[in-house]
Amino acid sequence: YLTGFPEPEAVAVLSPHGSAPFTLFVRPRDPEREVWTGERIGVERAGELFGADEVFPIDELEDHLSELLKPASRIYYPIGSGDALEDHIIQTVIAARRTRARSGQGPSGIEDLDALLSPLRLIKDADELSRMRVAADIGVAGHLAAMRRARPGVGEWELRAALEAEFIGAGGRVSFPSIVASGHNATVLHYEENRCRMGSDDLVLIDAGAEWGGYSSDISRTFPVSGRFTRAQRDLYDVVLAAEEAAIVEVRPGALFTTVHEAAVRILAQGMLDLGLLPAGDLDGVIERGEYRQFYLHQTSHWLGLDVHDAGPYQQNGAPITLVPGMVLTIEPGLYIPADEEDVPERFRGIGIRIEDDVAVTEDGGELLTRGVPVDPEKVEEIIRGGE
Ligand code: GLY
Ligand code: MN
Ligand code: MN
């Protein structure tokens, strides 16, 4: 296996089952550069720290690489890095083509290392799950802090500051740019400007998560700035919450990934019909024809882990993946009614709602990691009204 980074700071050459030495190339110590960019591990310390058999300075990579790759039958590399290393590897394979006939040695192909590694990231072990629980707890603390800070006239940026102070104070950081979207801004799925003041009748949608120990959380809540939902806001909120609960119930080993989404869509689409967002019609037709997409245009779940939208396939051999214990996914249904949508009752226009939690698949169901932030509308109102 061979992994590196564009403009690599380090390159590791490993072989399956340790059949060849684990060779590491790193930047050497350089006191003058280190004054500017921080301490380097250096050649002397890297071996013990990373368990490498031999360590060389990174500028000697070219000199050693051909020799190291010679006995390999295949090279595993994250194809598409587009760096000089990738070029070198391709040249090595081409050169081996000429000599293999006589020497019987040399790599005959390149395999995509990412394709090999990303399925491994799907199932989290106990250590990974415990890190994800910490990331979730920090995310929860951030959301609660932001909810307590909410009042009419306060800026979206101030809620962002409250969120992120918790993340950073706990030794974490944001796992993606925090979204604090009040009023119509909530109908913009990736609103990151966070520069409006919140109006007294506004809902505010917060979508933010913490990264800790390398792992991410991803939480959304939507609440009334005043501490009281209007009737229209509550009608929509109840539909989204029911959709989330219906999707969560589907999380268990053996369930298909797509079942979770379908459960949420069914409730959302029924809600759209009941509330007059869609013209009266039959539920199955609304789902089959995709009419619900007018107000719910994203998926319900994504994998969560080292990345917030984590690596890992959603399909295998053309079929949706089956959930197994250790997988972690988000459940995040929403409803987004554009402000200028004339074909819906006026009271719903300009409202955006998303509720998002993180769920780990267990032996017999799902473990909700992020419900430390309430979703029950009355509890939510209580927290807001409790103030700071
Ligand atoms: N914050 C991005 C997402 O919820 O997927
Ligand atoms: Mn998400
Ligand atoms: Mn999110």
Q: What is the pLDDT of residue 5?
A: 46
Q: Does residue 56 carry a pLDDT above 60?
A: yes
Closest among 172, 174, 175, 197 to 185, alpha carbons compared: 197
* Interatomic CA distance for residues 323 and 364, integer angstroms: 11
* Interatomic CA distance for residues 201 and 196, integer angstroms: 14
Closest among 149, 125, 278 to 225, alpha carbons compared: 149
Q: Which atom of ligand 1 is nearest to the CA of 209?
A: 1
In this prediction, residues 87-91 reach a mean pLDDT of 88
Q: What is the pLDDT of residue 7?
A: 54
* Interatomic CA distance for residues 178 and 194, integer angstroms: 8
**DSSP sequence for 190-255:** T-----PBPPTT-EEEEEE-EEETTEE--EEEEEETTSS--HHHHHHHHHHHHHHHHHHHT-STT-
Q: What is the pLDDT of residue 3?
A: 56
Q: Which atom of ligand 1 is nearest to the CA of 298?
A: 5
Q: Which residue has the higher pLDDT, 4 or 155?
A: 155
> Quick one: pLDDT band at residue 385, thresholds 50, 70, 90?
very high
End-to-end Cα separation, the chain, in angstroms: 53
In this prediction, residues 203-221 reach a mean pLDDT of 98
Q: What is the pLDDT of residue 6?
A: 46
Q: Which residue has the higher pLDDT, 260 or 71?
A: 260
What integer best gives the mean pLDDT of the chain?
Answer: 94
Structure-token pair, residue 235: 């009608």
Which pLDDT tens digit goes with each residue over 186-204? 999 999 999 999 999 999 9
Helix (H, G, I), strand (E, B) or coil at 35: helix
* Interval between CA 177 and ligand 1 midpoint (Å): 10
| Residues linked to residue 9 through DSSP beta bridges, in sequence order | none
Q: What is the pLDDT of residue 10?
A: 86
Q: Does residue 88 carry a pLDDT above 90?
A: no
- Name the residue of 244, 301, 309, 359 whose CB sits within 8 Å of the most ligand 1 atoms, as the mutation to test its pocket: 309
pTM to 2 decimal places: 0.92
Share of the chain above pLDDT 70, in %: 97
> Quick one: pLDDT band at residue 156, thresholds 50, 70, 90?
very high
221 φ/ψ angles, rounded to the nearest 5 degrees: -140, 150
Which pLDDT tens digit goes with each residue over 282-326? 999 999 999 999 999 999 999 999 999 999 999 999 999 999 999
Q: Which residue has the higher pLDDT, 5 or 215?
A: 215
In this prediction, residues 174-191 reach a mean pLDDT of 96
Whether 176 is in the pocket of ligand 1, judged by its Cβ within 6 Å, is yes
Q: What is the pLDDT of residue 51?
A: 94
Q: Does residue 49 carry a pLDDT above 80?
A: yes
Length of the chain: 388
Which pLDDT tens digit goes with each residue over 17-47? 888 899 999 999 999 999 998 899 999 999 9
Whether 358 is in the pocket of ligand 1, judged by its Cβ within 6 Å, is no
* Interatomic CA distance for residues 171 and 319, integer angstroms: 40
